[in-house]
A and B are shown apart, each in its own frame.
Chain A
Amino acid sequence: MAAPRRERRSPARAGPLPPFEHIVVVHGPTVLRVCRALLGRVDADDAWSETFLSALRAYPDLAPGTNLEAWLVTIAHRKAIDVHRAHRRNPIPTDTLPDRAATTAPPGDGDGDDELWTRVAALPFMQRAALVYHYVGGLPYTEIAGILGNSAAAARRAAADGRAALRRRYSVDTGSAP
């Protein structure tokens, strides 16, 4: 299942919701990093915008005690799946190949991690998502399992497989241990 279902509760809320401004200031940077790590720069901006607009729409009905970071990453994940499916469904014709390359371009500014980002972008989507939500989003595997719709053990395994694949490719690419 996706995130825990939130029920509408009218009268009693455990605590009042903080202003949404606070959510943007506190969680905006991390969600942008997650989107960039998952989608590359170009699609990340759209995913961030759609995530926060959706979040703003749903915000007044948010259940008290919700992990806000996990809630936002859950929404971002759905946007990322949409992007991912769109790219798979519509294999990009040769003449628009540069666009395709841009969507998996490294999220950094050419600061030295670009090779790593290219390898991350090449991972299967679930492995990439598990790695990014854990290492960039800082979420525990129990929360990631809720987002990916699997178990904490499966989420942890996906991340471990992703790390192993990165390590293998690193050795192959460089021909030696780093």
Chain B
Amino acid sequence: MTTPDPVVPAPPISSGDLAWLRERLILDADSAGLLDVAYRTLDTPVGALLLAATTEGLVRVAYLTDGPDDILADLAERVSPRLLEAPHRLDAAATQLDEYFRGRRVTFDLALDLRLTTGFRRDVIAHLPDIAYGHTASYAQVAASAGSPRAVRAVGTACAKNPLPVVVPCHRVVRSDGSIGQYVGGIDAKRILLDLETVA
């Protein structure tokens, strides 16, 4: 037989090597102004949340019921594809959410980037933090405070499409008859949040 060909094998690499290179890429990207969107996940009593921030502030909080792929694809398309899992930028948000879920924080002190919501929905989102911790408001009341008392249904849509649930408290908006209404993270999550705020 002929001599076997010494074909070039793939050099071995370790996950530690790649982890280190990733860290370095995140640092380099951030200092070069190329880390448009940083994200991380956070385990909470209402399930895993995805947190994402631009250089301007927190841009997205999302319930991870169906995994992160659709949420990340949406962020890549609507904000920027320069998107990396880079937890450091979310340190303050994660800490404050932790404190909130332990009942030790009643308001969030975070820069918010509201670019994922526009028009009337944005007006609604901007007014939601006026509903104080431990209180609720009806969809009709929120519509009135946003200056469009008849836009009750649109308030429901704005809450359902809130890009920053928990931090922007759409869970405090309930039906006029006192029933709990819908929630982007599911009724159970809404109940947990409202109970947390009542007990604390």
Binding site for B on A (CB under 8 A): 16-22, 24, 28-29, 32-33, 36-37, 45, 48-49, 52-53, 56-57, 59-60, 107-109, 111, 113, 116-117, 119-120, 131-132, 135-136, 163, 166-167, 170-171, 177-178
Contacts and interface: CB of A to CB of B under 8 A. Distances in A.
Contact of A17 (B7, B10, B39, B76): B76
Given A49-B28, A57-B34, A135 B77 contact: no
Contacts of B13: 29, 32-33, 36
Q: Which range holds the interface residue count of chain B?
A: 20 to 34
Nearest to A106: B11
A37 B21 CA distance: 17
A28 B72 CA distance: 19
A121 to B, nearest CB: 11
A172 to B, nearest CB: 12
Interface stretch (B56-64, B82-90, B127-135, B175-183): B82-90
B104 interface: no
Interface string B88-126: 000000000000000000000000000000000000000
Contact of A20 (B4, B21, B82): B82
Nearest to B39: A21
Contacts of B28: 49, 53
Given A16-B76, A19-B73, A49-B21, 20 more contacts: A16-B77, A17-B76, A21-B84, A28-B21, A28-B22, A33-B13, A49-B24, A52-B21, A52-B25, A53-B34, A56-B34, A107-B11, A108-B11, A113-B9, A132-B8, A135-B9, A136-B8, A166-B8, A170-B3, A170-B6
Given A19-B75, A56-B34, A24 B84 contact: yes
A52 B13 CA distance: 17
A45 B83 CA distance: 22
A118 B25 CA distance: 29
B38 to A, nearest CB: 10
Given A32-B18, A48-B21, A21 B8 contact: no
A171 B11 CA distance: 22
A32 B7 CA distance: 18
Given A18-B73, A19-B81, A60-B81, A116 B25 contact: no
B21 A45 contact: yes
Interface string B13-57: 100011001101100110010100101000000000000000000
B81 A17 contact: yes
Contacts of A170: 3, 6
B80 interface: yes
Contacts of A56: 25, 29, 34, 82
Nearest to A113: B9
B40 to A, nearest CB: 11
Contacts of A20: 76, 81-84
